[in-house]
Amino acid sequence: MSQLDKIDKDHLPLHIAIIMDGNGRWAQEKGEDRLFGHYQGVESVRHIVEGCAELGIKYLTLYAFSTENWDRPEPEVTGLMELLADTIRQEVGTLNKNNIKLQLIGNIEMLPGYARAGIEEAIELTKNNSGLTLIIALSYSSRWELVEAVKTIAADVKEGILSPDQISQDTLRHYLATSAFPDPELMIRTSGEYRISNFLLYQLAYAELYFTDTRWPDFRKEHLYEAILNFQQRQRRFGKTGEQIQRESATDTH
């Protein structure tokens, strides 16, 4: 029996976010160049995007490149940028065939021109799709996003569009790069690292965190199912007591 059959399709996480980590080590362990790991990582992306679309997951965010990753050696950065830009361009047909809408969060101004153009085109060409929303976090970091939000809020206050006493949690949410998406309910990080690495710090406030030793290039649908099953076994309390949650779910089903 596949793990897929054990998944409760009525309680899927609405939004899954993944820190796709371990490409470099995966390649180096095989005596290969780190870039080889990134190429294999793209194969995992294909499997996992397809797996999420098949399941009916509504939002999938993939952390592909952080603002800190710009500080890696130049050949790795250039190789990665070319790989990401080429992949996005090549996958537009498949995205459309599977009704997947592509979105991007991150500092797009830092991207080389060719990458930017291809990505903007792919976003435009998939904008009417209504199935899975695939959000690529590219040149993204949460601290960058929060600083941008604060700058725009300050400018709007100065312009008189916003008054400081109107600022609520919803206002802040509206200024984030993720304003169009619900918060992730499940966050997966591969390759045995137990940290957030500047990813969606605000949005992950109540996400269930799942860590696996599997390196990203080895991550396949069965690993995804395993993570979802693990998520489904957890009691999400949002600050309340376990008894309150049990009572609420009993009344929900009646």
Complex with ligand IPE: residue 26 or 175, whichever CB lies closer: 26
Candidates 65, 181, 219, 225; binder of ligand IPE (CB under 6 A) is 65
Residues that bind Mg ion (CB under 5 A): 21
Stretch that binds ligand IPE, among 1-9, 19-27, 169-177, 238-246 (CB under 6 A): 19-27
- Look at phi and psi of residue 163 and say left if phi exceeds 0, alpha if psi is from -120 to 50, else beta: beta
- Look up residue 138 and give its two tokens: 């590219």
Q: How many residues bind ligand IPE (CB under 6 A)?
A: 17
Q: Is 210 in the site for ligand IPE (CB under 6 A)?
A: no
Is residue 69 among the annotated active site residues? yes
Q: Is 69 in the site for ligand IPE (CB under 6 A)?
A: yes
- Residue 145 · residue 177 · CB < 8 Å: yes
Stretch that binds ligand IPE, among 94-102, 157-165, 192-200, 231-239 (CB under 6 A): 192-200
- Residue 108 · residue 119 · CB < 8 Å: yes
User: Residue 187: in which H helix or E strand, if any?
Assistant: strand 186-189
Return d(Cα 140, Cα 138) in angstroms, integer. Answer: 5
Is residue 218 among the annotated active site residues? no
Helices then strands, counting H and E runs in the chain, come out as 9, 6
Active site residues: 21, 69
**Binding interface with ligand IPE (CB under 6 A):** 19-25, 63-66, 69, 80, 191, 193, 195, 197
